[in-house]
């Protein structure tokens, strides 16, 4: 089985694509065979991504000549819905974009400011959050929609409460992200080092695109605001949740531990976690507390937005789709400090 | 009147005390005459604070020999309640600690884990948040309790809603602070550069000491959780507030503008502000939005925790106590980038 | 004389121009009357620079209608040599660019990759480094070339050695800068927060433009390499200088103290200074050590690149040109932490 | 051979020890069997190091009961020379401290301010810099002295010049380090986040302990000054080296490429490398340039101080000592951004 799974990364020079290449470098059963870039075909990947110890050379995407069992699409929104139908006859797809996450295409159009092409596909896309979605469903997917980073962190934090019928009102989800979430190609003044270092701010205060994704999977409306932290990696989601009466702190912690008893990548921790303690790993660390004075639970979840929030989760899904244990080749220890 | 007001800074080598020294260096009517340190008496202040362009020499606190009209106490909690009675016959006091902020001393004992000494004072302490407290009251104070940093930012954001009777449920206050809020003497592993850089985390998740201070001044319970941002200065308070029906976004913004029409240091801004845009200044920038889907207002307030959240506000109060315009000698432009 | 000096800032939305506006806000005798921007004329300055507490509105540059005694040109290289002749009949110029710093125009052409226009001017430009150039010369300048940031830090460190005839070989100048030195308009991937945070690198390893400026003013060749530090402000210049035999550490420190005895902004310090201890101030802190084993002095100088390395030094020059004490309105205490 | 090598980590809660645990988690042939801590014996390692996905429990060091083939000593200087003789009968030692790096014990005493115990050992310690020391020598070592971080980066940069007889004068080594180099237990004010973030400074200007280590292995005196960069990981060593006449830039680059032709972890790159492009990996990226004007080469080397500068290099040595390919289980791709 050694390295028998072939993976193509479409858009390998962005943060998500390059992270797939980095993580698969130590995967025992999969290897990257193709890396594409529309702009830099013919150049060594390392020229653009000097941090990767690789000799791969960038090529143009040619679906019919792909030397791959799996294609990871690491592209802007809009790419996957345009090209998926063309690629699917040749390989299974894991799409890192939002194109196939939302079932209601009107909601997609409203939040992503474009009409969804709604292409004809051999089967429906599967939303790939392995801790909350059936592994069999993921295993049989031909087109997997990899979740967004904020939804991953937030849903892992809220699901134990929602699925146990404990939520008594609109959760307030106050989320924070490292800057790499903005990607590598946003060259606005706003993302310059000098503009962001030493400052903290909110954005998308009432209309962020991940709102409907969270609501679809949670089955409930949420009040959601994201913020930008002067750090490169990490998501910290703080949810303040009105609870039905009669649940205390210790009960909550036990409930979370039980809920994630079998999960390889979710840890319920005893102290408020730093995003840094999951940096570079595929872990999600969860902390839950209860504020008696207001009757609200506070749920904190931290992930690395580029690993569990993107490339790591994609590989976790790929493992399941390939019939491997989900944790194969994925780090559970973080890079600290 | 040039430089006629004499100020003593007790505890001048911490971040708060040193910031008083820095800001008063460009004050046209006040000057620092005395700087004290229990540990370093006899040494030049600059030896311990090389960033200050000053020749002042540290001394021990000797209340009866103070060459000062005002004493700023920049000490740990507990110091002011022990020494205030002794100092007040000689000079008016501005206390940066929490000792005289809370009217209910049982609440003080509960949150600060110590019995309040409740010393006999010539007059009651005044809570010095000049935008929300009467200027005459501040002007006549002999002992002024300078507000905490989180309460300053949060109260400036919530007061326009509360005082207009618009709040319909428990506000969720999700606040974030730069690390300087922890002070200069906390030498725990936790505050080392390598432990904090590149990470974000919550602390005091359900029991932070600033909770009762916010509630006392707001007159309402709040759900409050603070977080630590990998930056040195700045407070960002995000309040999610259930509103009574019938108020929209534009109305809210106008209401905030009207509320702070005369305020010298509060600006209602049109885009989510970064903490950095108030760094080093005494400004508070406010942003308000309305989420129709959930019926909640989102109020964002940013301040520099060491200026409007501490030393700048102390000088604003000192100005009022000395009969000067409140803005005298205080910067409204920030140090950016 | 209060606020009698009128200043126009050409290019007010960049870091240098905006810093002029910030610093002059607390200047007792000068005020900004005009701020220009070719791109944003008609808009409030604060819209583009929300950190400035100002109501100034941006306009287009119109030399003949300037309401100003002094014009500060805060523009890209090339602008000043094109427009200076047109402006000089109306106001004295302080130019922040490199256009009038180098006397040898062939060297300018070689390093700046453009032919120097060499315009006809009423008098020769003066290089404005007040600690090393005669104050009378600066006072009488009509066109002042404000020094570069690396040259300011480096020359202040090397001048005491050079002018005392102590240098015995090529100095190695290993310099480091905060990212704001790259300006606000460089929107390359390279300057994104995510690309720079947490990393350190060299640039312009053997051919940086500030090399000939240092050499011209020092009168000697130097080996010069600059580096980019993941921080926004600050220059740290480390010079390793082969010395003539017979000078020891204490002698060197005394020599530096004597050399800068009258200087308002240069401090010789006893411990290696951090760039942070001069942040936001117009100070240059100098440290000198001697390595007996190799016979080299090590000179360390730190400045804030946007203050003593740019806008603060410009105002220091403006003060001298206006007949004021050079330190008028300039901070000597830094913003820490 | 799967996981047959047993490793004990003495001092597992510091940055170096914990990094050994992290890296060995993905090593195919070695596993950590024992983790010790004098202060926390009996506690789960994860309690102190929440970033490690491990169930190991800390114990006290008991040499005779070690379940290990190799012991990695990740302790302060002084520990190894005291305990090595006791441990060596039971396991081979890789020592991360400076205790066995210097052959001249008087030099050790001078720089480390303590007399060297000079214990009787079964064989001489081997200095383990695999790119510059014979692999057979390392393979047969019983006690391996793992090099310091600055020496590793600097020596890899200077060796190609020295061994080709090209150096014509004293090299100036201007080095920069991330803060993690100071370790996890230095709780001085100096290392607090608020004191270091946003600033850059030198330390140990003329007497840093790594100077004699560099000189011993290079065989030549150097002028060495280290600096502290506001980032957690990374060493950037910039060496300015007077060269014998007649060598140009292209020749130098080819010479470096040839020198490291067989090296698995050294890459000669074409642009000045950022420390960040090796973060978390065991790579050393080298850049060389030539300054014709001064006749000096500029050599830049970057490593991750905790990987190639410490734990990664220790595992590279362990691989050689265990008869494995040196690159076994070590990452060559970095964590970016």
How many CB atoms lie under 10 A from the CB of residue C104?
11
- What's the whole-model pTM score? 0.97
Chain A's closest residue to B175, CA to CA, is A174
What interhelical angle do B15-24 and B312-321 show, nearest 10?
60
Taking contacts as CB-CB distances below 8 angstroms, the residues of chain C near A191 are: 192-194
> Residue-wise over C264-302: b if at least 16 C-beta within 10 A, else e?
bbbbbbeebbbbbbbbbbbbbbbbbbbbeebbbbbbbbb
> Please, are residues C40 and C58 in contact by the beta-carbon 8 Å criterion?
yes
Q: Tell me, what's the pLDDT at A186?
A: 80
Mean per-residue pLDDT of chain C: 97
Taking contacts as CB-CB distances below 8 angstroms, the residues of chain D near C227 are: 176, 236, 238
Cα-trace Rg, chain D? 20
Q: Tell me, what's the pLDDT at D1?
A: 44
Chain B's closest residue to C179, CA to CA, is B337
Rounded distance between C-alpha atoms, residue C125 and residue D176, angstroms? 38
Burial-class residue D36 by CB neighbours within 10 Å (0-12, 13-18, 19+).
buried
Q: Tell me, what's the pLDDT at A243?
A: 98
Q: Report the helix count and the strand count for chain B, using DSSP H and E.
A: 10, 14
Q: What percent of chain A has pLDDT over 90?
A: 97
Q: Tell me, what's the pLDDT at B187?
A: 75
Neighbours of chain A (3+ CB pairs under 8 A): B, C, D
Chain C's closest residue to D204, CA to CA, is C272
Q: Tell me, what's the pLDDT at C1?
A: 43
Nearest CA among D14, D80, D78, D260 for reference residue D159: D260
pLDDT at C212 over 50: yes
Q: What percent of chain B has pLDDT over 90?
A: 96
> Please, are residues D221 and D215 in contact by the beta-carbon 8 Å criterion?
yes
Binary contact (B193, D193; C-beta < 8 A): yes
Binary contact (C277, B50; C-beta < 8 A): yes
Q: Is the peptide bond before D61 cis (omega within 30 degrees of 0)?
A: no
- Quick: pLDDT tens for B242-288: 999 889 999 999 999 999 999 999 999 999 999 999 999 999 999 99
Nearest CA among C138, C128, C132, C122 for reference residue C155: C132
Taking contacts as CB-CB distances below 8 angstroms, the residues of chain C near B233 are: 337
For residue A131, the number of C-alpha atoms closer than 13 Å in the C-beta half-sphere is: 30
- Quick: pLDDT tens for C274-321: 999 999 999 999 999 999 999 999 999 999 999 999 999 999 999 999
Binary contact (B193, D179; C-beta < 8 A): yes
Rounded distance between C-alpha atoms, residue B54 and residue B40, angstroms? 16
Contact map slice: D 250-289 vs A, CB within 8 A: 267, 269, 271, 273, 276-281, 283, 285
> Please, are residues C277 and C234 in contact by the beta-carbon 8 Å criterion?
no
Binary contact (B298, A194; C-beta < 8 A): no
Taking contacts as CB-CB distances below 8 angstroms, the residues of chain B near A236 are: 200-202, 227
Nearest CA among A332, A330, A230, A239 for reference residue A277: A332
Binary contact (C205, D298; C-beta < 8 A): yes
> Please, are residues A314 and A72 in contact by the beta-carbon 8 Å criterion?
yes
Catalytic residues of B: 149
Binary contact (D50, A285; C-beta < 8 A): yes
Catalytic residues of D: 149
> Please, are residues C334 and C279 in contact by the beta-carbon 8 Å criterion?
yes
Give the closest of A185, A189, A193 to C197, CB-based. Answer: A193
Taking contacts as CB-CB distances below 8 angstroms, the residues of chain C near A201 are: none
Structure tokens, D153: 């980066």
Give the closest of C26, C49, C271 to B26, CB-based. Answer: C26
CA distance D315 to chain B (A): 23
Neighbours of chain B (3+ CB pairs under 8 A): A, C, D
Q: Is the peptide bond before C337 cis (omega within 30 degrees of 0)?
A: yes
Taking contacts as CB-CB distances below 8 angstroms, the residues of chain B near D186 are: 192
pLDDT at B1 over 50: no
Pairing assessment for the beta strands B284-291 and B296-303 based on DSSP bridges: antiparallel
- Quick: pLDDT tens for A9-33: 999 999 999 999 999 999 999 999 9
**DSSP E strands, B74-131:** 92-95, 126-127
Name the one residue in this structure whose structure tokens are 């340039």. D289
Q: Tell me, what's the pLDDT at A246?
A: 86
Task: Provide φ and ψ at A257, rounded to 5°.
Answer: -60, -40
- Quick: pLDDT tens for D267-277: 999 999 999 99
- Quick: pLDDT tens for C91-140: 999 999 999 999 999 999 999 999 999 999 999 999 999 999 999 999 99
Taking contacts as CB-CB distances below 8 angstroms, the residues of chain D near B186 are: 192
Q: Tell me, what's the pLDDT at C2?
A: 53
Catalytic residues of C: 149
Q: Give the mutation candidate from C197, C199, C305, C336 for the A interface (greatest A CB count, under 10 A).
A: C197
Does A181 touch chain D if contact means CB atoms closer than 8 Å?
no
Q: Tell me, what's the pLDDT at D246?
A: 86
- Quick: pLDDT tens for C215-225: 999 999 999 99
Contact map slice: D 187-226 vs C, CB within 8 A: 194-203, 205-206, 221-223, 225
Region of poorest pLDDT, from A286-290, C187-191, D257-261: C187-191
Q: Tell me, what's the pLDDT at A1?
A: 44
Chain B's closest residue to D185, CA to CA, is B189
């Amino acid at each position: 089985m050694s390295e028998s799974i072939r993976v193509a990364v479409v858009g390998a020079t962005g943060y998500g694509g390059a992270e797939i290449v980095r993580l698969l470098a130590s995967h025992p059963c999969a290897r990257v065979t193709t890396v594409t870039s529309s702009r830099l075909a013919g150049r060594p990947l390392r020229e653009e991504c000097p941090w990767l110890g690789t000799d791969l050379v960038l090529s143009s995407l040619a679906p019919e000549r792909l030397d791959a069992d799996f294609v990871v699409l690491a592209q802007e929104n809009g790419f996957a819905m345009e090209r998926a139908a063309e690629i699917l006859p040749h390989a299974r797809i894991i799409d890192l974009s939002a194109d196939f996450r939302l079932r209601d295409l009107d909601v997609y159009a409203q939040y992503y400011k474009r009409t969804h092409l709604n292409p004809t596909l051999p089967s429906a896309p599967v939303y790939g959050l392995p801790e909350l979605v059936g592994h069999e469903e993921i295993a049989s997917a031909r087109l997997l929609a990899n979740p967004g980073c904020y939804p991953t962190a937030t849903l892992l934090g809220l699901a134990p409460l929602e699925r146990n019928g404990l939520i008594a009102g609109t959760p307030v989800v106050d989320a924070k992200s490292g800057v790499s979430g903005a990607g590598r190609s946003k060259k606005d003044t706003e993302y310059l080092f000098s503009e962001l270092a030493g400052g903290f701010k909110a954005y998308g205060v009432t209309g962020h695109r991940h709102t409907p994704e969270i609501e679809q999977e949670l089955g409930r409306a949420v009040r959601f605001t994201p913020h930008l932290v002067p750090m490169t990696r990490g998501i910290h989601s703080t949810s303040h949740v009105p609870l039905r009466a009669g649940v205390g702190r210790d009960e909550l912690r036990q409930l979370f531990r039980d809920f994630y008893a079998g999960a390889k990548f979710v840890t319920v921790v005893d102290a408020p976690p730093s995003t840094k303690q999951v940096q570079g790993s595929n872990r999600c660390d969860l902390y839950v507390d209860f504020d008696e004075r207001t009757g609200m639970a506070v749920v904190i979840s931290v992930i690395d937005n580029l690993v569990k929030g993107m490339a790591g989760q994609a590989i976790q899904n790929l493992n399941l789709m390939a019939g491997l244990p989900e944790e194969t080749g994925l780090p559970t220890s973080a890079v600290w400090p």
